[in-house]
Structure 1
Amino acid sequence: MSDNIKVSVIVPAHNEEKYVGRCIESVKQAAARVKCGVEVIVVCNRCTDRTAEIALAGGARVVYDESRCIATVRNAGIAAAKGKVIMTIDCDNRMTEGTIREVLGMLNSGRYIGGGAPLRFERYSPALWLNDLMCRAGFGLTGLYCGIFWAEKRTFDAIGGFAEKKAGEDIATAKALRAYGKKMGKRYGCLRRNHLINSTRKYDDMGDWLYFRLAFRNAGALIKAAFGDSSEYDKLMDEMFYDYNDNRAKSS
């Protein structure tokens, strides 16, 4: 990774010592296939483990943010970025080798304001295949691909960064990018030759039917969120993400 930084990859991390190294390595492999400089910014969010130490050893820059909202954490990384192009990826996930090259090609074409990436699980089972098919159908119908977000930094600045809400921030941000792209005569796109390698750690810990069980048990919270009351859904998101990582760090 040269000093001529063109791409900044933002990695939010909350107690991710088991995963941050492999995430950074996947970015390095993708960076090796482009000629411009690529930096990795790991945003340590209330970490109590060795996430920062491992990230620094892997060649990443480390910044800190104490928010309990992943969108705010991502925005802290964007604010610190040196690159003209911003990409984001969650710390337990990985990108495929051609990801950065494909992103730059799509942006350089002038047709795209930014976009997302399809996701593929790192392992599969009947439940995960069903989950995968539902994700593909949802993304295909809406066109609001998430996972790895990518756009120029000035574009994120223009839309005010990631939508700072606990529930549905990815979809809200994708909608904002698409709307801004329409104003600029550009499309919100999706990678075709590369994808996000989606972690199955929660499924490994709590079973492959996890999200189907949660949807059934929390149907009331989901319905309320659909009608504008996200208080119960926000609490569920806290339990599934921040509290989950806190508990993993304590037990390791």
Structure 2
Amino acid sequence: MKTALITGANKSIGLETARQLLQNGYYVYLGSRDLHKGQEAAGQLHAAGLTNVEPLQIDVTDSASIAAARQALGQKTPVLDVLINNAGILGSMSQPPLGTSLSTIREVFATNVFGVIEVTQAFIDLLRKSAEPRIVNVTSGLGSLTLHNDPSWKYYPVKGAAYQPSKAALNAYTIMLAYELRDTPFKVNAVDPGYTATDFNHHSGPGTVADAAARVVKAAVLGPDGPTSQFFSDDNAPETGISPW
């Protein structure tokens, strides 16, 4: 049975991603900063008959927490097949480039970029033991620099100094990581789940959590002939599903 770790998985898209991977026959470690919330989320899945899941406490902004999570997971399984870096924060709703504090920008980058890098580095040894390792970095369509410079883009006015640059940086890291792992069985991709109605955006998005999670799962279960180093976004590119960087 293949194994997967999802960060920030106690609610919304992360929890639904866990549900769909369980339905695909995976054993899921449900990463949550708050262990109690992770236990509650796992309990919801157990109640639905999806029992191959257990919580794993991990705060992606805390090095000690990441190290403890790696040690704990290593005691449970010798191999990790899928890592989904889903944990992310928005920061304040208004982020003008000349008015957003450095503390806000640092806070957003700590989760959305540095957390992803540290978690990936911590668990890479378990991933290397998989025959078909997959890394999925959950990004945003707002991370596209190309589209942010296109006045015809529907989200062109949605600018910010913290969240959007953090996702652009995450996309860049995805490219670099995929390149380093290019001659291995790894598939490393960034996935935009779409503008989805969640607590993250005060339920302002038109998309459903189920559809968003399905996009993430699609990249997580790619076969050996699947693509790597891609920015998947049905929202940005409905015809091809591949967003410009």
- TM interval, shorter chain, is 0.3 to 0.5
Normalising by structure 1, what TM-score?
0.36
Structure with more contact order per residue of length (Cα contacts < 8 Å, sep ≥ 6): 1
Normalising by structure 2, what TM-score?
0.37
* Structure with more of its chain in helix, by fraction: 1
* Structure with more of its chain in strand, by fraction: 1
